[in-house]
Structure 1
């Protein structure tokens, strides 16, 4: 209950109940690749960051896979067992050469590509499938990508390196085994559920012409922990302690503390708060648009920040970059992202960010000057001198011709001892203009100012 971080291996289950009981928990580190033992959705909802060490045992898993392929091809376990029984069955366990055989690699991530390159050294032709890796990328490490329907009948060996997801559960099943060529041999050093074991058993028993005869009586199997040699356990542990984690559910956090992106995240959150204040709602559809080439890849981390800003002050507790999009969705707020390489002057070199409440006229645009997030435009009113969005900020809309607003504001500030630190006004739109006032401290009562303005609100940015 008192821990801030939790590091686990595969045997420890981090359930929703565990997450609920750990009130201070901020991060779960999985020492290994798979996170199916962690309730990622429950962690995300609570704002708990989930991380893993995907590279820690990649080479070890790849080497184990290659060893399994060699054992199947040369029938090493069977020959060894026969020798130990005092037999000399040379002809029975001659096996086959790997040279010229075709290996199908399902999943071309870190482990899959390492297996492919190693088995290419044995003269194997490598084909594969991955819904994320592009054919151009897989071609760089010698794998020809094909649709799954074309892979099954072409392979002498199939090896699986995908995570266990609803889409990969039972990937190898009765239907796929029926499409495989005679004598196909399957290696699964990933997750057990990817291969339908019942279907595999039926293929072994009912269709011996499709699998080697020796497989019907001998099963080659090892526990998944065999990928974790003593060196690998040490390596994974060093990754845990040296911050060599990868984010599973909080990719935006990887950008939150980088000097070049931190002010942009602050801007996105501030614009979300401004849009919520002027729109007076945290529901509907919000369009986030990144403008300019420098922000071409920024939508992935700026969008959660906008959502977090929109939810400030709502019923949701502890809104973070980890859970902002999930909580926004549950609150009825849909946040979408677009990008345009063209950014308006004078922000074309740095880029700018625009957020808009669809179906309304409410929108806000800002940029970053130096390390300071600034407001460029609000509901069509342009700030020729951009207004800083930092600290306590008072924002109001008033008639441009009304000379009483500023004296009323300065008089109120003098009464309560709050200093005016900055003052920026927009251009006039429909005879009104917006003003953004930086304060040394928030004001506790705005009643004296309200008669002089059309609308007014405070934000602490």
Structure 2
């Protein structure tokens, strides 16, 4: 009987699916790469979440045929080492797009209406906060989307149709007709997007350059009082530069579901910057998205172990 090793908890329906298909499942005893390397052993398949799967883990799994990534991003998987071994790597695209889009809008509302500060004020007996905690109305404001994949398109629909925002996006790889079909203005360059945006929201996969897309220069190209939202990858924003822009009052606020590193170090300046809402990478953490991701992973594991090429093989 084949064995699927799972690095972190997944939806139980996916485990049941695998077991019913005659595939045993075993979890790592701890969500660390050290535990994975120690325990992966004779596994034929791996399902991994944000822990990824290192080259050392590959070396420890001589029978491995597939690494199935629980999400769309595979930047923490040793893909070159897997390719050299002939081990398939799959992802689960678009399974969490709506959930991450809704999280993006939630962060934006939390920032512009200062919801976390307001909640704390009530708990501390400071009802006077209502006279000092001015917010921003989003109707007619310009939302700039960096990237225009599935998540960004959901964000555009919610923000445009639901909040009445003016939506622009920049993505060099997306054809013009996609923007037209979504009713979204296409920015010719990142700089054009920056100078036009009241709110900037990031939705590009990691670019692999090691340099943030939104660096200090980009941050100060944004309008005075602009809001930055990141539900993409923490490394896409220069964290210290963002903290500086917030401290200087150039930006009006930020909402971050991702940081670099994760979890943040205790001295990360963003932990003390003003008007920042921070969440621990929970954009995809809804019951519906978690089930969709896990079931796609399980289905692709079954395909690979049956000798079929999975549909989302990278």
**Counterparts of 1:197 and 1:90, CA distance in 2:** 30
Q: Say yes or no: does 1:161 pair with 2:207.
A: no
Does the C-alpha gap of structure 1 residues 124 and 245 become closer, same or farther in structure 2, counting only changes over 3 Å?
A: farther
Q: Which residue of 1 aligns with 2:43?
A: 3
Conservation of the 8 A alpha-carbon contact between 1:104 and 1:155: yes
Question: Deviations 1:212-247 (Å, cap 9, x if unpaired)?
Answer: 389953321101134312332222222222349999
Question: Deviations 1:27-73 (Å, cap 9, x if unpaired)?
Answer: 11011121122011111121111001122211111110011111122
Does the C-alpha gap of structure 1 residues 245 and 93 become closer, same or farther in structure 2, counting only changes over 3 Å?
A: farther
Which runs of structure 2 are paired with 1:321-400 in the superposition (5 Å)?
Answer: none
1:165 CA displacement: 2.1
**Counterparts of 2:153 and 2:231, CA distance in 1:** 14
**Paired residue secondary structure (2:131):** coil
Structure 1: unaligned runs, 5 residues or longer = 256-320, 323-461
Greater Rg by CA: 1
1:254 CA displacement: 6.0
Does the C-alpha gap of structure 1 residues 55 and 114 become closer, same or farther in structure 2, counting only changes over 3 Å?
A: same
Conservation of the 8 A alpha-carbon contact between 2:284 and 2:290: no
Q: Which residue of 2 aligns with 1:85?
A: 124
Which runs of structure 2 are paired with 1:51-450 in the superposition (5 Å)?
Answer: 51-88=90-127, 89-121=129-161, 122-146=163-187, 147-167=189-209, 169-205=211-247, 207-208=248-249, 210-212=250-252, 216-243=273-300, 253=309
1:144 CA displacement: 1.4
The two structures have a TM-score, normalised by structure 1, of: 0.51
Does the C-alpha gap of structure 1 residues 162 and 244 become closer, same or farther in structure 2, counting only changes over 3 Å?
A: farther
**Counterparts of 2:303 and 2:203, CA distance in 1:** 18
**Paired residue secondary structure (2:95):** coil
**Counterparts of 1:84 and 1:246, CA distance in 2:** 52
**Counterparts of 2:246 and 2:54, CA distance in 1:** 37
Q: Say yes or no: does 1:34 pair with 2:73.
A: yes
The two structures have a TM-score, normalised by structure 2, of: 0.73
Higher relative contact order (CA 8 A, sep 6+): 2
Conservation of the 8 A alpha-carbon contact between 2:71 and 2:91: yes
Does the C-alpha gap of structure 1 residues 218 and 99 become closer, same or farther in structure 2, counting only changes over 3 Å?
A: closer
Does the C-alpha gap of structure 1 residues 169 and 138 become closer, same or farther in structure 2, counting only changes over 3 Å?
A: farther
Conservation of the 8 A alpha-carbon contact between 1:9 and 1:32: yes
Aligned match of 2:62 in 23, 29, 41? 23
Conservation of the 8 A alpha-carbon contact between 2:203 and 2:230: yes
Conservation of the 8 A alpha-carbon contact between 1:172 and 1:194: yes
Q: Which residue of 2 aligns with 1:45?
A: 84
Conservation of the 8 A alpha-carbon contact between 1:53 and 1:244: no
**Counterparts of 1:90 and 1:193, CA distance in 2:** 35
1:138 CA displacement: 1.8
**Counterparts of 1:2 and 1:194, CA distance in 2:** 37
**Paired residue secondary structure (1:234):** helix
1:191 CA displacement: 1.1
Higher normalized strand content (fraction of residues): 1
Question: Deviations 1:60-102 (Å, cap 9, x if unpaired)?
Answer: 1111001111112222222121111111222322311111000
TM-align CA RMSD: 2.6
Conservation of the 8 A alpha-carbon contact between 1:54 and 1:246: no
Question: How many residues end up aligned between the 2 structures?
Answer: 250
**Counterparts of 1:213 and 1:35, CA distance in 2:** 29
1:2 CA displacement: 2.1
Which aligned segments of 4 or more residues in structure 1 are displaced greater than 6 angstroms? 244-247
Conservation of the 8 A alpha-carbon contact between 2:46 and 2:67: yes
**Counterparts of 1:213 and 1:32, CA distance in 2:** 28
**Counterparts of 1:213 and 1:188, CA distance in 2:** 12
